[in-house]
Every structure is written in structure tokens, then in C-alpha cells.
């Protein structure tokens, strides 16, 4: 037990490196190494999260399980994952992300393999629930790493590029799992992704590290001379916080985190509404074929990829690291794009596809920036908890976009459906408006930690 506790304990700070040139060289090396490590790691979390989706048809044919039973398993994953998002955020903020993320990925791989070895619904539920819980170990350590290794005026760009790992993983797993299920059987659609994730977890242990100070480097704010407006040039943000401090000083009492959490709820309603229901809308209301509707909706995800990159970059370059303006502008664009899809029913397939691309572009920008803003508007040492708290609310929104929206469409038709989606989009804009100039809570001053050199280190090129 002590070994496990020590394994997850944040890495200790070591004696600072004195040579400024070596500091610059080491910082550049580790920033890129850590970034591609967590980028690849999160791609593979999608391998164990989504493999079941593409094994389902073969499971139905082989085992005779019903759609309802498969639906139960899907619900179990999202319930355990949603609960884990917040709890794991608290744990991660007091852990070494090198091991926290790696162990989480390894356990999801083991659970996925055990799922593939099973044949009863009870065992399926147990192993898929375990998988869902440890899926929650992927996001929070990345939030910790992104806030410790990349400073505020550049973090939007790095965070948005990292967020595209969702899209890459979502693109690759249907190909891998689908091919395994078709040619080798559904069990191999679980074995192979699970085995790959175990190996990838070992790779993460090799690639990742904790804070810059654990490698003898200065804090990123000092290295790049890039301090948040509310932060003095001190080391207060580098003190590890207790669970009570994280929760009650920086998250649960932080009005900005709560506003971002509610915004996340409504953004996810819109996201799941478009993602899950727009193909059926195009088929029923506009006479699309199944393939035609699927092709149009695929542009929603493509638009989202570009939207995340643009929103993060613009928040750095135009607004100097403030996320509020981009959240307002992009959510207003999301509202306008949904209205275009709704009020112009008699248009070409190209225009419908363009509207869906625009919705994805404007929606995924705020979706990505919510987690980043929550991390920045709370505390550097509470980044995982704050972003996980906002993500927890997102899954309530995802649940609300399922049966409730389907019932609205049944009773009031597609006009009722779009009315609800439009209201949710409007509420999102209203929630973001007060956050245009939002800044983190004022922190207690503390003496600075000077480098072992009189020479000022210039910011590195990003």
C-alpha cells in the first residue's frame, strides 16, 4: 500500500539547474516530449472507451444479446466515467501525472481484455464499469501538465492542439475495432485495443514527468516571464494543496467555475443533440439517404477539429490568454449556425453540410475552452479538479440530450427539438457574457523563488 501511495505522490522538487542555457535546452526538450506523450496517451484512452461501440453488432450476432442489454452497458460506462471525472480530478491534483495517467490507461486495457473474455451480462457490466471509472484518469493529469508546462499567453494554443487527440482517437478506433470484429470476431475488437493500451501505459511512464521543478527547472511563469494578471512573481502556486483547499478555496466557492460548469451542461446538450439526432432530422425532414445524412453529419466533427484549434490560438494571440471573449463569440456563432440549419429547410445538401460544419466549428471551440478556463480561473494546483467539475456537469447535459430531447421531437416535432436546442444555445451565450474579463481569484502573496543566476531567461519560442 505504501508503495502505491508513494508512486502517486507528486514528484519532489530538486536542486535548480544553474546554467541558463541548459535550462532553456531542457525546457524545450521536455515540453515537446511531455506534449506528444500525453497527446498519444489520450488517443489511446479512446481505444478502450469506444471499442465496445464497434464490437456491438458482432456481439449481438454471436451472443444473442439485445439492444437494451447493450444500452445498459453503454449507460454504465458513461455513469462511471461521469462520476470519475470529478473524483479523479481531485485525486490527480495531488498525484504525479506520470503514473496517474499511465496506470489509468493500463487498467482500462486490462478491463477491456477481461470484458472480451466474458460472456455474461453481469461480468460485462462489472468490467465495463471498471473501464468507465479509470477512463476518468485520462483528462485530469493532462490538465495538470498543461498548466505546469505551458504559460497562460500560449496555453490556449497548446491546449487546443492537445484537444484534437479526441478527434484522432475517434477516427482511428472505428477502423481498428471494426476490422478486428469483422475478420477475427468481437472479442479481438476488445483484446487488441486493450493490449495496445497496456503497452501505451508503459510508454507514458517512460515519457511523462511531473512539474518542471521536479527536473530542476524554474516554474513556467518565471521561465517565460508570463504571469497571470492576478499573480505576483512568487511561488505560491507551486505549493501543493490539500483536498480541502482545492475543493473549498478554489473550486466549489469559485463563481467562475460554477458558471463554466453550467455552460458546459448546455453546450453538451447542443453537442449531443446535433451529434445524435441531426442525421435522423435530415432523413425525416429533408429526404436524405442514410449515407447522405451520415456524410453531412461527419462535417460536424471536422468543423469541431478546426474550431478548437482556431479558438485556442485566437484566445492567445488576440486576447492575451483570456478565454472569455472567444467563448462569447464562438457560442454566438453556434447559436447563429443552428438557426440557419433550422430556418432554411429547403436548401442543397452542400449548404446543410456547411451549416453542420459551422455548428461544429463554433461549438467545439467553447467546449474545449471551458476546461481550459476552469483550470486557469481556479488555481494551478486545482486544474484537474476544476476542469473535471465542469466536465462532470457536461455529462448531465449529455444525458438530458437523450430521452428528453427524443420525447420533445416525438411530441412537438423537429420544430420543438430546434426550439429547445436554440434556447440552450442562447443560455450558453448569456452564461459566457459576464466572463468576458474574468480573472482568477486573488491569491496570497509569497516570496519569489529566484533562479540560481542573475541573468533573466528569455521566453522560448512556441
Length in residues, the chain: 462
pLDDT at 458: 39
Q: Where does 208-238 have alpha helices with state H? A: 220-223
User: What average pLDDT does range 214-242 have in this prediction?
Assistant: 75
Q: List the one residue out of 87, 84, 89, 95 whose CA is nearest residue 5.
A: 95
User: What average pLDDT does range 48-52 have in this prediction?
Assistant: 87
Q: List the one residue out of 16, 452, 450, 444 whose CA is nearest residue 236.
A: 444
pLDDT at 229: 62
pLDDT tens across 143-190, in order? 999 999 999 889 989 999 998 998 888 878 888 888 898 889 999 999
Q: Is 354 left (phi over 0), alpha (psi -120 to 50) or beta?
A: alpha
When pLDDT is cut at 50, 70 and 90, the band that residue 456 belongs to is very low
Angle at 109 between CA 108 and CA 115, to 5 degrees: 85
pLDDT tens across 370-414, in order? 988 888 888 878 888 888 888 888 878 877 777 787 788 888 888
Q: What is the CATH number of domain 249-435?
A: 1.20.1250.20
pLDDT at 4: 60
Among 16-25, 230-239, 375-384, the minimum mean pLDDT is found in 230-239
- Does the pLDDT of residue 231 top 70, yes or no? no
Average predicted confidence (pLDDT) for the chain: 85
Mention every residue, 6+ apart, whose C-beta is less than 8 A from residue 417: 273, 277, 281, 405, 408, 409
pLDDT at 67: 74
pLDDT at 444: 44
Q: What is the CATH number of domain 2-219?
A: 1.20.1250.20
User: What average pLDDT does range 120-142 have in this prediction?
Assistant: 94
- To the nearest whole percent, how much of the chain has pLDDT over 90? 45
Mention every residue, 6+ apart, whose C-beta is less than 8 A from residue 46: 165, 166, 169, 170, 172, 173
When pLDDT is cut at 50, 70 and 90, the band that residue 449 belongs to is very low
Residue with C-alpha cell 535548480?
A: 16
Mention every residue, 6+ apart, whose C-beta is less than 8 A from residue 425: 266, 270, 331, 334, 335, 338
C-alpha cell of residue 370:
471551458
- Does the pLDDT of residue 460 top 50, yes or no? no
Radius of gyration for the alpha carbons in the chain, expressed in angstroms and rounded: 22
pLDDT tens across 412-440, in order? 888 999 999 999 999 999 999 999 988 76
Among 122-126, 190-194, 262-266, 375-379, the minimum mean pLDDT is found in 375-379
> What three-state secondary structure class fits 214?
helix
User: What average pLDDT does range 129-139 have in this prediction?
Assistant: 94
pLDDT tens across 325-345, in order? 999 999 999 999 999 998 887
pLDDT tens across 286-327, in order? 888 877 887 787 788 889 889 999 999 999 888 877 898 999
pLDDT at 461: 38
Is the pLDDT higher at 314 or at 67? 314
- Does the pLDDT of residue 220 top 90, yes or no? yes
pLDDT at 132: 92
pLDDT at 446: 39
How far apart CA 333 and CA 347 sit, in angstroms, is 20
Please give the model's pTM, rounded to 2 decimal places: 0.77
Is the pLDDT higher at 395 or at 225? 225
pLDDT at 230: 53
Residue limits of CATH 1.20.1250.20 in the chain: 2-219, 249-435
Amino acid at each position: 500500500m505504501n508503495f502505491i501511495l508513494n508512486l502517486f505522490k507528486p514528484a519532489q522538487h530538486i536542486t535548480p539547474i544553474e546554467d541558463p542555457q541548459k535550462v532553456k535546452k531542457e525546457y524545450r526538450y521536455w515540453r515537446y516530449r511531455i506534449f506528444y506523450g500525453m497527446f498519444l496517451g489520450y488517443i489511446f484512452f479512446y481505444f478502450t472507451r469506444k471499442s465496445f461501440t464497434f464490437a456491438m453488432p458482432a456481439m449481438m450476432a454471436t451472443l444473442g444479446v439485445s439492444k437494451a442489454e447493450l444500452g445498459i452497458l453503454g449507460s454504465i460506462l458513461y455513469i462511471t466515467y461521469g462520476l470519475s471525472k470529478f473524483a479523479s480530478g481531485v485525486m490527480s491534483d495531488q498525484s504525479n501525472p506520470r503514473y496517474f495517467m499511465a496506470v489509468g490507461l493500463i487498467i482500462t486495457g486490462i478491463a477491456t481484455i477481461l470484458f472480451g473474455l466474458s460472456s455474461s451480462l453481469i461480468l460485462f457490466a462489472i468490467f465495463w464499469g471498471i473501464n468507465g471509472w479509470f477512463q476518468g484518469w485520462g483528462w485530469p493529469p493532462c490538465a495538470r501538465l498543461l498548466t505546469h508546462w505551458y504559460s497562460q499567453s500560449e496555453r490556449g494554443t497548446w491546449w487546443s492542439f492537445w484537444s484534437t487527440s479526441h478527434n484522432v482517437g475517434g477516427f482511428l478506433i472505428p477502423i481498428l475495432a471494426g476490422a478486428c470484429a469483422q475478420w477475427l470476431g468481437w472479442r479481438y475488437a476488445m483484446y487488441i485495443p486493450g493490449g495496445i493500451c497496456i503497452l501505451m501505459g508503459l510508454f507514458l511512464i517512460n515519457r511523462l514527468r511531473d512539474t518542471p521543478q521536479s527536473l530542476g527547472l524554474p516554474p513556467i511563469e518565471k521561465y517565460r516571464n508570463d504571469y497571470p494578471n492576478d499573480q505576483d512573481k512568487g511561488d505560491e502556486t507551486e505549493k501543493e494543496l490539500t483536498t480541502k483547499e482545492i475543493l473549498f478555496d478554489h473550486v466549489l466557492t469559485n463563481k467562475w467555475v460554477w458558471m463554466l460548469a453550467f455552460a458546459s451542461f448546455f453546450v453538451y446538450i447542443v453537442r449531443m443533440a446535433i451529434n445524435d439526432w441531426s442525421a435522423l432530422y435530415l432523413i425525416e425532414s429533408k429526404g436524405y439517404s442514410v449515407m447522405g445524412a451520415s456524410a453531412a453529419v461527419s462535417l460536424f466533427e471536422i468543423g469541431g477539429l478546426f474550431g478548437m484549434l482556431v479558438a485556442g490560438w485566437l484566445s492567445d494571440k488576440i486576447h492575451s490568454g483570456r478565454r472569455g471573449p472567444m467563448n462569447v463569440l464562438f457560442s454566438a456563432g453556434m447559436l447563429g449556425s443552428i438557426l440557419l440549419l433550422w430556418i432554411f429547410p429547403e436548401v442543397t445538401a452542400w449548404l446543410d453540410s456547411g451549416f453542420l460544419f459551422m455548428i461544429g466549428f463554433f461549438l467545439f471551440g467553447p467546449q474545449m475552452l471551458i476546461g481550459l478556463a476552469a483550470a486557469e480561473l481556479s488555481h494551478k494546483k486545482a486544474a484537474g479538479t476544476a476542469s473535471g467539475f465542469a466536465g462532470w456537469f457536461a455529462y448531465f447535459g449529455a444525458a438530458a440530450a437523450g430521452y428528453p430531447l427524443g420525447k420533445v421531437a416525438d411530441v412537438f416535432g423537429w420544430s420543438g427539438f430546434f426550439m429547445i436546442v436554440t434556447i440552450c444555445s442562447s443560455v450558453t451565450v448569456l452564461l459566457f457574457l459576464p466572463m468576458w474579463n474574468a480573472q482568477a481569484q486573488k491569491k496570497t502573496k509569497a516570496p519569489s523563488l529566484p533562479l540560481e543566476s542573475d541573468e533573466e531567461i528569455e521566453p522560448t519560442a512556441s
